[in-house]
Each structure stands twice: as structure tokens, then as C-alpha cells.
Structure 1
């Protein structure tokens, strides 16, 4: 799983295989190592985030901070997504 960055103990990453056809751009968040039950956050074309689900059960206050970090780094995330998958689609 390509890790994009870390915030404290949380890893923000992509899965190597994001389905065919490719899902809209999103990241997964997990405490520690990547897991199949990680929290999923969509990234919009404006760089904002939308929570898909919080399967990692990250506390709400922490999750809001993580989502702000994702928004602040959305340009970098979008670039890495295109490098990884060669194309991009947006949720909204």
C-alpha cells in the first residue's frame, strides 16, 4: 500500500488495487499499519474531504484533524494518485 504521509500514529495511504473501473480518488486511514478495515475518505475536485466510513473507529475529534490534514495536502495526494493509477475521477 503506497503510504502518502503519517500524522502521529495514523497512516494515510492508497490501496495498490483500487478496483476496475478505478474508484474516485480517496485515501484510507489506519492507526499503525494498513488494514482492510481502514477508514475511507473521498477527496473532491476542490480538495475537500467527505467521510465514506469510519471502520477504523477513529475518535471524531482526531478524525476531523486528520481530514483537515488531508485537505491541506490534497494537491500532493492528487499528484500521487495520478502517478499511481494514471488517471483520476472525483466523487463529487
Structure 2
């Protein structure tokens, strides 16, 4: 049986969500934004991968949509596990590009290091 823990407030703009299985903590997901009902967050334990965000409607999930950030300030869809529509994807990807600098800064802070980019 999966149990969900309540989001914990980190700052005025960031929340951290976690969920556990029978009381065991599995993951901490720092939420960067809540945009049009979509949580945009980092999934912990992926600090060896190029910079990317996950997008889920409502609660973060392991199979959420994954979007890579590119060196030139763009982004690329890696997978659409949340099954966003084309319109939703376009809106979310535009939002990510507008907030590119903030996302990169938060990645460095959260994963304690340099950033590698997709392509």
C-alpha cells in the first residue's frame, strides 16, 4: 500500500514532496513551479544525468513527463509519461524556456555541482 506524505515548505517558491511505501522514504522531489496545475520538479538521485525537469499533473510520479534543457536555452521532450497534450506540452516548454536561468541555478544548488546539458 502506497502512502503519500504532505509537501513540506522549503521557501516561498519551492516545495519538497516525498512519498513512502509502508513508512519508508523513497524519494524527495524539489518542486520548482506549479504551472497551470502541473508540478515542475527535479527527481532526486539523477544528479549524474544532464539537466532536466519532470512535469506531472498534480502529484509527482516516477513516470512523469521528462524535459531536457539544452545549452542554448531551449528544451527537448525526452518522454511524455504524463501524457500531456500538444498544447499543454507547448505551454509547459515555453514556461521552462522563460525560466531557464532559474532552473539552472536551482539544479546547481540542489545537485551541488556543474551542469551538463543535453546535446
TM-score category by the smaller chain?
Answer: over 0.9
List, as ranges, runs of 4+ consecutive aligned residues in structure 1 with deviation greater than 4 Å. none
**Alignment of structure 1 residues 1-92 onto 2, 5 Å:** 1-18=29-46, 22-87=48-113, 88-92=115-119
Instruction: Note the residue ranges of structure 1 that are not aligned, 5 or more in a row.
Output: none
Q: Which has the higher contact order (CA 8 A, sep 6+)?
A: 1
Distance 1:60 1:53 in 2: 13
Paired residues in the alignment total: 90
Residue 72 of structure 1 deviates from its aligned partner by 0.2
Q: TM-score, normalised by structure 2?
A: 0.73
Between Structure 1 and Structure 2, the one with more strand by share is: 2
Q: CA RMSD in A?
A: 0.9
Residue 45 of structure 1 deviates from its aligned partner by 1.1
When Rg is computed on C-alpha atoms for both structures, the one with the higher figure is 2
Instruction: Note the residue ranges of structure 2 that are not aligned, 5 or more in a row.
Output: 1-28
Residue 47 of structure 1 deviates from its aligned partner by 1.5
